[in-house]
Amino acid sequence: MNSSHKKSIQNKSDKPSGTSWGNVAVWYDNLMEKSTDSYQEKVILPNLLRIIDPKPGQKLLDIACGQGYFSRAFYKNGMQVTGCDISLELIDLARKNSPKEITYFVAPAEKVADNITPEEKFDVALIVLAIQNIEDMRAAFVESAKLLKTGGRLVLVINHPVFRIPQNSSWQWDAQLGKQYRRIDSYMTDSKIKIDMAPGKSASASKFSKSAAQNTVSFHRPLQSYFKAFNSAGLSVTRLEEWISHKQSQEGPRAKEEDRTRREIPLFMCIEARKI
């Protein structure tokens, strides 16, 4: 990172976030850094590198960057990277694990520009598996567009909004047909759902502190809501991709069918939108 870029980040005092993701920061860091077979490593990152096609000197803003997993990956590919997250706990981990050339600061997705000087503009803004945890999606898109160069791209990765609806979608097995299928109980209705990050574990057995909340909040929205929010933020959708799981079932009577449905029913959606 050159000195002019580092100076563009204004000095703001970091304060503890008190967010649900702050409470699960250590668990999330272990998941991202110690797993050798995660969706982030095997599916999301390779596809993002292909789509973004990083070039040395390009500027990337990693919004809701968590503990810096993707920030570090794009820095290694030559980009000038700035990351932000609402959780101080996650930003502390990002700073600890990252080269000093990556700049991190604490900010919600709707107020990123408050921490960046007006002349600073980015080639790419990235939001990976985070917009579903942000209540005011439109404000986050408006903020992203404000910080992009004309023609710059916002690249969004989300859990597939058609097939991955918390508490309203599930895998089911049709014994008569010998087929696995995805059951969808609700789609068009916006919803706010608490997600247990350690299901099946007692508080004493979990990796969280006894006082820490184990829930995060997720928002389901139908696909049209994303497109309407892009449009109102002055962003034009230029790419949509659907990504499947890389995993395979162990041998068993249902393995072949389970692998078939993994190929047919995608896990993730990637949307690219350009600043008009």
Q: Identify whether the C-beta of residue 247 lies closer than 8 Å to the C-beta of residue 262.
A: yes
What average pLDDT score do residues 154-164 get? 98
What average pLDDT score do residues 25-29 get? 54
What average pLDDT score do residues 157-179 get? 97
pLDDT on residue 36: 78
Q: pLDDT band for 3, please (50, 70, 90 cuts).
A: very low
Beta strands 215-220 and 191-196, pairing class: antiparallel
Q: pLDDT band for 203, please (50, 70, 90 cuts).
A: very low
What average pLDDT score do residues 109-127 get? 96
pLDDT on residue 216: 85
| Whether pLDDT at 143 is above 60 | yes
| Whether pLDDT at 269 is above 80 | yes
Q: Look up tokens 């909040």; give the residue.
A: 217
| Whether pLDDT at 1 is above 50 | no
Q: pLDDT band for 35, please (50, 70, 90 cuts).
A: confident
Q: pLDDT band for 197, please (50, 70, 90 cuts).
A: low
Q: What is the mean pLDDT of the chain?
A: 88
What tokens appear for 144 in the block? 């992203």
Q: Which domains does the chain have, with CATH numbers?
A: 3-161+221-251+270-275 (3.40.50.150)
